Amino acid sequence: MKLLISYVVIIATTLLFQPLTAPESLPETTAYEATVLYAGPSDSFQQLGKLNPGLHITIIERNHTGIWVHIQRKADDKVVQDGWVISAYLNRDDTLQFGDLPINTIVGDADPSTVNSRSMARLYAVPVIPTISDAMVELYQRGQTLGNASNAITKVGDSLSANVQYLIPMSNPEEKLGPYGYLADTVAYYGASIATDSVAARIGMSTYGIVDPFWADKEKCQGAETPLDCEYRLKKPSVAFIMFGPNDVRSMTDDKYAGQMRQIIEDSLEHGVIPVISTFSAHPDEEFFWQSVNFNLQLVALAEEYEIPLINLWAAARILPEYGLDRDKVHLKVSGFDYLKFDTGHEAFYGVSLHNLLSICTLDVIRKRLGIEVQK
């Protein structure tokens, strides 16, 4: 019986990773510098070698976002290289549009079996962008009866969320989406609503402060209103992007953190707002790395319990230089542009660019799941 199971696993693995025949209509390009070729769309998959610059390849398909693409290289009509690469390392022109590519729905976002740590393996196993549950569709509909605006979004969190280069660039019409043109409708639909600051996203904010009236903006908020309740009253958003952790990890236990996040989630649900929570990147050399892993696992558990969307920024950022973090190993690195710029692959080099892209991809999934059409 064990032998039969082994054969089944071998056959399934062979079918999963066997080279595909590339239709002639699929785009061709080259890498602009040497890049590692993997068996799947993550650095957790087996390395298959290197794709050298200047070699002509065909893009077969992409993962859900387009951050990774499956490529083939042929020589004398034979496939000589087949695997996944980070799309940012490929030369891009105006004809390359990820929206035109097939989406691979079989290979996962990571291969947790190759990860030595059980905790990190559990984190890697979580998809990078979420699917939207029926519960969130019902929540959105209830939010509409409460007066929430279908195209309004906001952000909730500490300095990483308060960063003016996070989500705010969606409101700048000078966008360069590059191959991510399939996200244009979503950016247009939600962009204008994020042009102003959030009273629920501030430098130094914690999961305690966000539900404490003491931290509320005295000019914009009422009486005993918390920063979170104040922001939801002012913006009437349908979606809130929530990320806490880099501050909290230094001052509280896993249980305390989970309890505070639970309160934030429940307050959001009470307002009819879809809470999109996010894991946060952490550097292995940072003092609180393993505590950060534990905090992120608490977020995964909460997302599963409440059936809310979760962006796995932690896993996606593993491929970035210094894990997408700046010199302090806490804040995400910024590109310096005040508009969305994905035409030159910034999402593979700057943590904030990646965070923006994953957030917009999640918004795109939410909009389509809710059946919201964009008028042109």
> Per-residue pLDDT tens for 92-123?
988 899 999 999 999 999 999 999 999 999 99
2 or 328, greater pLDDT: 328
- Which percentage of the chain shows pLDDT scores above 90? 90
- pLDDT score of 338 more than 90: yes
- pLDDT score of 20 more than 80: no
The C-alpha atoms of residue 366 and residue 161 are separated, in whole angstroms, by 20
pLDDT tens digits for range 278-335: 999 999 999 999 999 999 999 999 999 999 999 999 999 999 999 999 999 999 999 9
- pLDDT score of 234 more than 50: yes
263, burial (CB in 10 Å: exposed 0-12, middle 13-18, buried 19+): middle
Instruction: Report pLDDT for 24.
Output: 53
Instruction: Report pLDDT for 164.
Output: 95
* Tokens at 73, concatenated: 């290289």
Instruction: Report pLDDT for 25.
Output: 81
For 159, residues 6+ apart whose C-beta sits below 8 A from its C-beta are 202, 203, 204, 205, 246, 247, 331
Q: How far is CA 77 from CA 50, 71, 81, 84, in A?
A: 20, 15, 12, 20
Q: Where are the alpha helices (DSSP H) in the chain?
A: 2-17, 118-124, 134-145, 159-162, 184-190, 227-235, 254-270, 289-306, 313-316, 351-370
The domain over range 20-111 is classified in CATH as 2.30.30.40: yes
235 or 16, greater pLDDT: 235
For 352, residues 6+ apart whose C-beta sits below 8 A from its C-beta are 163, 165, 166, 324, 332, 333, 334, 335
Domain ranges of the chain: 20-111, 115-370
User: How high does pLDDT run on average in the chain?
Assistant: 92
- pLDDT score of 7 more than 50: no
| Residue 1 pLDDT level (bands cut at 50, 70, 90) | very low
Instruction: Report pLDDT for 155.
Output: 97
Do 240 and 222 form a contact (C-beta atoms < 8 A)? no
- pLDDT (mean) for 77-99: 94
* Tokens at 363, concatenated: 């918004």
- pLDDT (mean) for 340-352: 96
10 or 183, greater pLDDT: 183
Distance of CA 256 to the CA centre of its chain: 25
Fold of 115-370: Rossmann fold (3.40.50)
Distance of CA 314 to the CA centre of its chain: 9
- pLDDT (mean) for 265-285: 98
- pLDDT (mean) for 145-164: 97
Element (DSSP H or E) covering residue 72: strand 68-75
pLDDT tens digits for range 178-201: 999 999 999 999 999 998 889 999
- pLDDT (mean) for 36-64: 97
For 142, residues 6+ apart whose C-beta sits below 8 A from its C-beta are 272
The C-alpha atoms of residue 73 and residue 55 are separated, in whole angstroms, by 8
pLDDT tens digits for range 37-48: 999 999 999 999
